């Protein structure tokens, strides 16, 4: 079955530590996205990528980094510079170009600070 796989489901970060969230899709989608979800605030865009080896900052990119070396993979690193990383992180994908009609979401990763 085609879909988006995020791992791990739960992740804990210590002070000063970088952690990486995995996102893999087998939908052959060109575009991939990372969103952060906080209670009562909806989804905020962290980074997005429309094509391999290219990505753009979203609304809240500070303290995060990404790479897009393969079409199917878009890992997100939460760096120690992100002072409030506790949140639910959602990865999504879509077909590219102007024909985007919907986003396909993974099941999310809950990141907490120890």
Partner 1 sequence: GDSVTQMEGPVTLSEEAFLTINCTYTATGYPSLFWYVQYPGEGLQLLLKATKADDKGSNKGFEATYRKETTSFHLEKGSVQVSDSAVYFCALRLPYGQNFVFGPGTRLSVLP
Which residues contact partner 1 by CB under 8 A?
A: 4, 6, 31, 35, 40-43, 45, 48, 50, 58, 90, 92, 94, 96, 98, 100-103, 105-108
> In the bound complex, what is the minimum distance in angstroms from residue 108's beta carbon to partner 1?
5
Q: How far apart are CA 11 and CA 28, in angstroms?
A: 27
107: helix, coil or strand?
A: coil
Q: C-beta of 61: minimal distance to partner 1 in Å? A: 13
Residue 17 or 107: the one with the smaller Cβ distance to partner 1 is 107
- Residue number with CB closer to partner 1 (5 or 20): 5
d(CA 87, CA 61): 14
Query: Which residue, 80 or 96, is less far from partner 1 as judged by CB?
Result: 96
Helix (H, G, I), strand (E, B) or coil at 53: coil
The residue (of 37 and 80) whose beta carbon lies closer to partner 1 is 37
Structural tokens at position 16? 């000063």
Could you tell me the smallest distance in angstroms from the CB atom of residue 107 to partner 1? 5
Q: Which residues make beta-bridge pairs with 77?
A: 20, 65
Question: What residues form DSSP beta bridges with 53?
Answer: none
Q: How far apart are CA 60 and CA 114, in angstroms?
A: 22
CB of 5 to partner 1, least distance (A): 11
């Amino acid at each position: 079955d085609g879909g988006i796989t995020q791992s791990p489901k739960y992740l804990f970060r210590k002070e000063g530590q970088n952690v990486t969230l995995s996102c893999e899709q087998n939908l052959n989608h060109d575009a991939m996205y990372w969103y952060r979800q906080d209670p009562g605030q909806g989804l905020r865009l962290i980074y997005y990528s429309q094509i391999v080896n290219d990505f753009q900052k979203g609304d809240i990119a500070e303290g995060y980094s990404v790479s897009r070396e393969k079409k199917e993979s878009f890992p997100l690193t939460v760096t120690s510079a992100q002072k409030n990383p506790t949140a639910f992180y959602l990865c999504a994908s879509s077909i590219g170009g102007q024909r985007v009609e919907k986003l396909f979401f993974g099941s999310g990763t809950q990141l907490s600070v120890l």
